[in-house]
């Protein structure tokens, strides 16, 4: 059975998609960009600031669905510039101190609203 997850503690979807969907004990979180949950404005100008906001948004959605970062099994990081990888990794790593999830990271041509990063996440209970 499919359950839609929606929380005001994370930015509202800016298109025809859900913040997250849970199905059969797996949570699929849509790609999160560094938007402030209330204002929908981009947070930060640096990759570190933007990654921090993305991780906060992911954390809010995980919490709303009853999951934690310990339940995350896969992340996909989309970067506007692959040269930001190391700085992104430093912030990202603070959230996965032990047993980090599988991950892929790619440089892409453009991201929504011209942000530097987008991360999609899958968690399992």
The CATH number for 53's domain is: 3.30.1330.40
Q: Are the CB atoms for 37 and 9 separated by under 8 Å? A: yes
Give the span between the Cα atoms of 33 and 40, in whole angstroms: 10
What per-residue confidence (pLDDT) applies to 14? 84
CA angle 118/63/47 to nearest 5° reads 25
What per-residue confidence (pLDDT) applies to 47? 98
φ and ψ at residue 81, rounded to 5 degrees: -145, 115
Per the confidence metrics, is the pTM higher than 0.95?
A: yes
Indicate the number of domains in the chain: 1
What residue has token string 């913040």? 19
Percent of the chain scored above 90 by pLDDT?
97
What per-residue confidence (pLDDT) applies to 1? 87
Give the span between the Cα atoms of 65 and 62, in whole angstroms: 5
Q: Domain span at residue 40?
A: 2-124
* Weakly modelled stretches of the chain, pLDDT under 50: none
What per-residue confidence (pLDDT) applies to 106? 97
What per-residue confidence (pLDDT) applies to 44? 97
Q: Is 26 helix (H, G, I), strand (E, B) or coil?
A: strand
């Amino acid at each position: 059975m499919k359950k839609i997850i929606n929380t005001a503690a994370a930015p509202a979807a800016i298109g025809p998609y859900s913040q997250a969907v849970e199905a059969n004990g797996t949570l699929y979180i849509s790609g999160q960009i560094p938007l402030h949950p209330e204002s929908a404005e981009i947070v930060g100008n640096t990759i570190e600031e933007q990654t921090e906001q993305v991780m906060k948004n992911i954390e809010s959605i995980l919490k709303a669905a009853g999951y934690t970062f310990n339940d995350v099994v896969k992340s996909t990081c989309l970067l506007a510039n692959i040269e930001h990888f190391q700085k992104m990794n430093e912030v990202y790593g603070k959230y996965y101190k032990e047993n980090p999830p599988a991950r892929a990271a790619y440089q892409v041509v453009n991201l929504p609203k011209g942000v530097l990063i987008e991360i999609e996440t899958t968690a399992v209970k």
